[in-house]
Amino acid sequence: MKRPILIHPDPRLKTACDPLDDLSDSLRSLADDMLETMYAAPGIGLAAPQVGELARLIVMDCVKDKDVAPRPMVLFNPEIVAASEDTAVYEEGCLSIPEQFAEITRPAEVEVAWIDRDGAPRSEVFSGLWATCVQHEIDHLNGRLFIDYLKPLKRQMITRKMQKLKRERARA
């Protein structure tokens, strides 16, 4: 089932999520809903707080090439265990901040540990767009948005645009 995506500003997008103790069928079903919501948006990632669930759960699929098989990933309790010193700049967007983009600098490679949907511990080194995306999504779990990396004036300008968008959507 597709779920509505929260738009900034919303207190749930500024809240750090507690780690999950146990996997349950309802969490697996939330992950399935998040993948459906992400693909429909369309997006390359989604974090549980973006659909109003304060759980440490993200989904991603950064395969953009139509000739390459999709790689839907579900990560419970993802944690960055190592980050490269070299950085990469990527023009990021966010499904909770529609039509706003900004260049953000982050570590170019990160090693992430997580629990997969079968409850098994996994880890992988991500690079390229996958590295940018997994860091963006883990930020969501810590109540941080990509606009928090921008200068206050730019951030304020984007926030005002989003407040206007929400007023317009509420009237429609």
Closer residue to ligand K1U (CB): 95 or 162: 95
CB of 22 to ligand K1U, least distance (A): 25
**Residues making contact with ligand K1U (CB under 6 A):** 42-47, 64, 90, 92-96, 132-133, 136-137
CA distances from 163 to 98, 121, 158, 166 (A): 12, 40, 9, 5
From the list 101, 105, 89, the residue with the least C-alpha distance to 147 is 101
Contact partner at residue 46 from Zn ion, ligand K1U, none, CB < 5 to 8 Å by partner kind: ligand K1U
How many CB atoms sit inside 10 A of residue 133's CB?
Answer: 21
Contact partner at residue 44 from ligand K1U, Zn ion, none, CB < 5 to 8 Å by partner kind: ligand K1U
Closer residue to ligand K1U (CB): 22 or 99: 99
* Whole-number Å distance between alpha carbons of 61 and 119: 20
* Whole-number Å distance between alpha carbons of 29 and 113: 21
Q: Is residue 137 annotated as a catalytic residue, yes or no?
A: yes
Residues 43-102 binding Zn ion (CB under 5 A) are 94
